[in-house]
Structure 1
C-alpha cells in the first residue's frame, strides 16, 4: 500500500507562472492556511530559490522572457513536474494555465482554477494590448473561461461577480478577506507617527496620479506625507516621483509583515482606484487589510465599495478622479482625532465579524474534501 493509502495527508499542488511565491492570496491565505489544516502543500511559483515555510514547499518556476514564452514554454514545461507531484488536487492561479489544467483533467486529475479577477473585463484595461484589439481579446478571454468552467473540476472565484462568468460550472466564492494573524491591540490612533499610506500595485488605473495630487494638497495644508508600497506598473512611473520626496515616500515591494506594520502606524489608507468594470465589481483586498489594522479608509465611491465603507463606518468615499475631494476627506479625518479613532475601531470590528478569512477558508477546504476526500486530516 502507498503512504497516501495508509492515511497520510492529501496533497494540494498550487501553480502560478505569474505570481511571486509570496503573493498574499496564493501563499499567505490559501497555501499556508491549507497546510495548517493538514494538507501536504507544494507551490510552483516565481521565486529566486526553493524554500519551505509554514508547511508549504515552494518550487521556483522559470522566469519567462516575454508573455509569449510565459504562455508556451513556461506553461507546458510544467506538465511533467506537476505529474511527478501526484497531487490529489491541482490548484491553478493563472488564465495561461487553463489549457494545462484541461490536460491534467484529461489525465484523471482533480483541477481547480482560481479566478482572481474578471478576466474579460481585465483585458479591456490592459494598456499593452492595442486598444482596437481589446474587444477581440476580451471575446477570446470569455471563450477561455467557458472552457475552464466546462473542463475543470471546479472554479474558485474571488468575488460573486467573477463567479458569474463561469456559468453552470461547479463554483465556490472565496473572497480576499484579511487573515487575522493575531489579536494584538492596534497602536492608539493619536500615537501613530505615519500619515497617508497605500499598499498594492501602483499604476495610473490604480490611482497613482490621483494619490500624488492628494499627497501634495494634504502636505501643503497639514505637513503630512504619503507612503507608497508596491510595484510600479510600468516602472517608468518612478520618474514621476522626482521632486516629490518631501511628501511622497516610495518604499517599493515589502514583505507582508512589514507592509502591515506600516498600515498600523499610519492614519489614513487610500483606495482611489479608477473606474473600470474589472475594478468596480471587485472586492478591494487592501480596503479590508486597512480596516483590519485599524486604519480609516478613503476609497473610491463605487456602489459596492461605498456600501462596505459606509455600512461599517470605517471611512469616507469620494469620486476616484477628484483629488480635491479625496484631500478634503483625508483632512477631515486628520482633523477629528476622536472620530478617526472611532472609524478605526469600527473597521476592525467589521473585519472580525463580517470580512475575515476564516469562513472563506472553510469553503475552500470543503471543496477540497469534496474533490479528494481525505483519509486523515488534522
Structure 2
C-alpha cells in the first residue's frame, strides 16, 4: 500500500500528569488544544481538580486522587497504565514527579516520550515554604542534576521560556521553547472597554506568602492614602482550609471589605474576569527563579487589554520593557507599586492606551497561533518514527 492510501493514524498524543490539574492552562489549553486544532488527536490523563470545567475539545481520563506528594509520586504506575490503555502515538509527560518513570516508559513501552519543563524547577524548589530551608537547597541540587540526566534519555523537551532551557544545555535532546502565549480568541475587543469594570486591580493564580505579603502591603498603602481601590483576587487550586487561612490573613490586614475573592475558576472564565478589572498586578519577588521565568498571567493581562504593574525583572524587561503596556516597579517595594497603581487609576486614558498597546502586542506577535506550529511539527515527526538517537 502506498503512502497516499495509508489510513490516517488516529492514535492520540497523551499528556500525563500526577497533579490535580487536568485543565492546566499550558498543558491542556495551549498544547493539547493546539494539537487538536491542527488535526492531531490528543488526550489528557490527570487527577480531577477543585473546579467545575465546561467540556473542552480534548477528552480527559481521570485517575484516582492521590493526596500528598509522596502518594502522587507513587501513583505514577497507575497514571502510566491509563495512558498506555489509550494506545498513544506519543506521550507528553507534564509532571516532574513522572520524569524518572518517563525514562522507563520510553525504554520498555517503545513509545516516543516528551517532557515539559514548565518552569525552572531547581529554582522553584528554593521557594517552597512547606520545606525546611536546608532541605530546599539539597533538593534543588538533586533536581538540577536529575532533571537534565533523565531528559537526555527522552525524545524531546519542551520549555516555557529560554531561561529554563539553560538548565538543559548540552544534553543532546531536542529542545523547543513554547511560550505561554494566549490564543487570539482571548483578546478583549474594543467593545469590552465600553463596560465599566467592576474592580480596579486584579491578581490571579497561586498566592504563596512571597506574593501575598507584597500584595497586601501595597493594598494597605493605597487604603491608608484614601484610594478606594476595589481588588479581585482569583486564587487557584484552593481547598477549604486554605480559603479560611487566606481570608483570615486579609481580615487581619484590615482589607476584607476591599477584596473580592474568587476560588478555582475555570481557565475559560479568566478573560472575562480580567476584563472586569482596570489593572493587573504581578508582585514577583527578586529571586533567581524570576530571573529566568516569565509569568503566564502577564500575557493574559495583555490579551485582556489591561495594563499591569509588574516587578522589574530581566525576562519581563526584555519582553515588554519598551512596549508601553506595563509599568515596571522595583521588586519587593510596596510603596513604588502603590504609586504606580494609584497613578494609573487616576489616569484612565493613559491606562486605556497602555492596555490597547498590550492587546496589539498579543495580536501581532505574542499569540498561541504563532507559537504552537513548531510543537505540532515535532509531535508529527515523533509520531512518524523520527526518534531521538535513532
Given the two structures, how large is their TM-score scaled by the length of structure 2? 0.88
Which of 307, 310, 323 does residue 318 from structure 2 map onto? 307
**Structure 1 residue 133: Cα displacement:** 2.0
The 4+ residue runs of structure 1 with deviation greater than 6 A are 48-52
Contact 1:113 1:148 in 2 (8 A): no
Question: Following the alignment from structure 1 to structure 2, what is the Cα–Cα distance between the partners of residues 333 and 305?
Answer: 19
**Structure 1 residue 183: Cα displacement:** 5.6
Question: Following the alignment from structure 1 to structure 2, what is the Cα–Cα distance between the partners of residues 238 and 203?
Answer: 14
**Structure 1 residue 65: Cα displacement:** 2.5
Contact 2:43 2:60 in 1 (8 A): yes
Contact 2:290 2:313 in 1 (8 A): no
Question: Following the alignment from structure 1 to structure 2, what is the Cα–Cα distance between the partners of residues 103 and 62?
Answer: 22
Do structure 1's residue 336 and structure 2's residue 350 form an aligned pair?
no
Contact 1:199 1:228 in 2 (8 A): yes
Question: Following the alignment from structure 2 to structure 1, what is the Cα–Cα distance between the partners of residues 15 and 139?
Answer: 27
1:202-239 deviations in whole A, cap 9, x for unaligned? 1122x212112222333443312210001359923332
Given the two structures, how large is their TM-score scaled by the length of structure 1? 0.91
Question: Following the alignment from structure 1 to structure 2, what is the Cα–Cα distance between the partners of residues 200 and 6?
Answer: 43
1:183-202 deviations in whole A, cap 9, x for unaligned? 65142278333210001111
Question: For residue 194 of structure 1, what is the aligned residue in structure 2?
Answer: 199
Question: For residue 176 of structure 1, what is the aligned residue in structure 2?
Answer: 180
Question: Following the alignment from structure 2 to structure 1, what is the Cα–Cα distance between the partners of residues 369 and 49?
Answer: 30
* Count of residues paired in the alignment: 370
State the superposition RMSD in angstroms: 2.4
Question: Following the alignment from structure 1 to structure 2, what is the Cα–Cα distance between the partners of residues 332 and 182?
Answer: 27
Contact 2:45 2:82 in 1 (8 A): no
Question: For residue 221 of structure 2, what is the aligned residue in structure 1?
Answer: 217
Indicate the SS of the match to 2:180: coil
| Worse-matched range after superposition: 285-294 or 31-40 | 31-40
Distance 1:105 1:255, change over 3 A: same
Question: Following the alignment from structure 1 to structure 2, what is the Cα–Cα distance between the partners of residues 277 and 6?
Answer: 50
Do structure 1's residue 239 and structure 2's residue 248 form an aligned pair?
yes
Question: Following the alignment from structure 1 to structure 2, what is the Cα–Cα distance between the partners of residues 184 and 227?
Answer: 18
Question: Following the alignment from structure 2 to structure 1, what is the Cα–Cα distance between the partners of residues 22 and 277?
Answer: 27
Question: For residue 264 of structure 1, what is the aligned residue in structure 2?
Answer: 275
Gaps in structure 1 of 5+ consecutive residues: none
Gaps in structure 2 of 5+ consecutive residues: 386-390
